[in-house]
Chain A
Amino acid sequence: MTLLEVQDLRTWFAKEEGEVRAVDGVSFHVGEGEAVGLVGESGCGKTVTALSIAGLVPDPPGHIHGSSSIRLRGTELVGLPERRLRRFRGKEVAMVFQDPMSSLNPVRTVGSQISEVVRLHGRLGAREAKRRTVQLLREVEIPDPDTRYREYPHQLSGGMRQRVMIAMALSCEPSLLVADEPTTALDVTIQAQLLELLSGLRRERKMGLLLITHDLAVVAELCDRVVVMYAGKVVETGRVKDVFSQPAHPYTRGLLGSLPRIGSGRRRLAPIVGGVPDPAGWPSGCRFHPRCPHAWGRCSAELPSLRRRGGRAHGEEWTVRCWLEEEPLEPTPDVGKGP
Chain B
Amino acid sequence: MIGYVLRRVGGAVPLVLGVATIVFFVMNLAPGDPSSLYAGPGVSPQALEEVRQNMGLDAPVHVRYIRWMGAMAQGDFGHSLARGQPVRDVIRDLLPNTLLLSGTALALAFLAGILIGVLQAVRHNTWIDSSLSGASLFFYSIPSFWLALMLILVFSLYARNVWGWPVHFPASGMTSVDHAWMTPWEQVKDRAMHLVLPATSLALVLAGGIARYTRTSMLEVIHQDYIRTARAKGLPEWRVIAGHALRNALIPVVTVFGLYLPLLFSGTVFVETVFAWPGMGKLVVDAIGQRDYPVVMAGALVFAVMVVVGNLIADVLYSVVDPRIRHG
Contact = CB atoms under 8 A, between A and B. Distances in A.
Bind each other: yes
Interface of A: 54, 56, 82-83, 86-91, 94-95, 97, 99, 102-108, 116-117, 120-121, 152, 154-155, 165, 168
Contact of A168 (B233, B236, B323): B233
Interface of B: 224-226, 228-237, 243-244, 247-248, 251, 321-324, 327
B231 A56 contact: yes
15 contacts: A83-B236, A95-B232, A97-B225, A103-B225, A104-B229, A105-B229, A106-B323, A107-B251, A107-B323, A108-B243, A108-B247, A116-B235, A120-B233, A152-B324, A168-B233
A154 B324 contact: yes
Given A105-B248, A154-B327, A56 B228 contact: yes
B236 A90 contact: no
B152 to A, nearest CB: 42
B229 A86 contact: no
Given A107-B323, A152-B323, A155-B327, A87 B234 contact: yes
A91 B226 CA distance: 18
A147 to B, nearest CB: 14
A86 B225 contact: no
A4 to B, nearest CB: 16
Contacts of A56: 228, 231-232
B321 A107 contact: yes
Contacts of B251: 107
A155 B327 CA distance: 9
Contacts of A99: 225
B317 to A, nearest CB: 13
Contacts of B322: 106-107
Given A104-B229, A105-B226, A121 B321 contact: no
Contacts of B244: 105, 108
B324 A106 contact: yes
Residue of B224, B236, B323 with most chain A CB atoms under a 10 A cut-off: B323
Contact of A116 (B233, B247, B321, B323): B233
Contacts of A104: 226, 229
Contacts of B233: 89-90, 116-117, 120, 168
A117 B234 contact: yes
Nearest to B228: A56
B321 A86 contact: no
B229 A152 contact: no
Residue of B233, B235, B248 with most chain A CB atoms under a 10 A cut-off: B233
A121 B232 CA distance: 12
A90 B234 CA distance: 5
Given A106-B226, A107-B247, A86 B323 contact: no
Nearest to A82: B237
A107 B228 contact: no
Nearest to A93: B232
Nearest to B237: A82
Contacts of A103: 225-226, 228-229
Contacts of B248: 105-107
A50 to B, nearest CB: 10
A168 B234 CA distance: 12
Contact of A97 (B228, B236, B247, B324): B228
Contacts of A94: 232
Contacts of A89: 231-234
Contacts of A168: 229, 233
Contact of B234 (A105, A106, A121, A152): A121
A108 B236 CA distance: 18
Nearest to B231: A56
B224 A102 contact: yes
B234 A91 contact: yes
Residue of B231, B235, B321 with most chain A CB atoms under a 10 A cut-off: B231
A88 B231 CA distance: 11
Residue of B225, B226, B231, B321 with most chain A CB atoms under a 10 A cut-off: B226
B254 to A, nearest CB: 12
A116 B237 CA distance: 14
Given A82-B237, A97-B225, A103-B225, 20 more contacts: A54-B232, A86-B236, A89-B231, A91-B234, A95-B229, A104-B226, A105-B226, A105-B230, A106-B226, A106-B322, A107-B251, A107-B322, A107-B323, A108-B247, A116-B233, A116-B235, A152-B323, A154-B324, A155-B327, A168-B229
A83 B235 CA distance: 10
Contacts of A88: 234
Contacts of B231: 56, 89
Nearest to B230: A105
A154 B326 CA distance: 11
A108 B248 CA distance: 10
Contacts of A102: 224-226
B4 to A, nearest CB: 15
A32 to B, nearest CB: 21
A94 B234 CA distance: 9
A172 B323 CA distance: 28
- Nearest 8 CB-CB pairings of A with B: A89-B234, A90-B234, A102-B225, A90-B233, A105-B226, A152-B323, A95-B232, A86-B234
Nearest to A116: B233
Nearest to B326: A152
B248 to A, nearest CB: 6
Contacts of A86: 234-236
Contacts of A105: 226, 229-230, 244, 248
Contacts of A107: 247-248, 251, 321-323
Contacts of A117: 233-234
A114 to B, nearest CB: 10
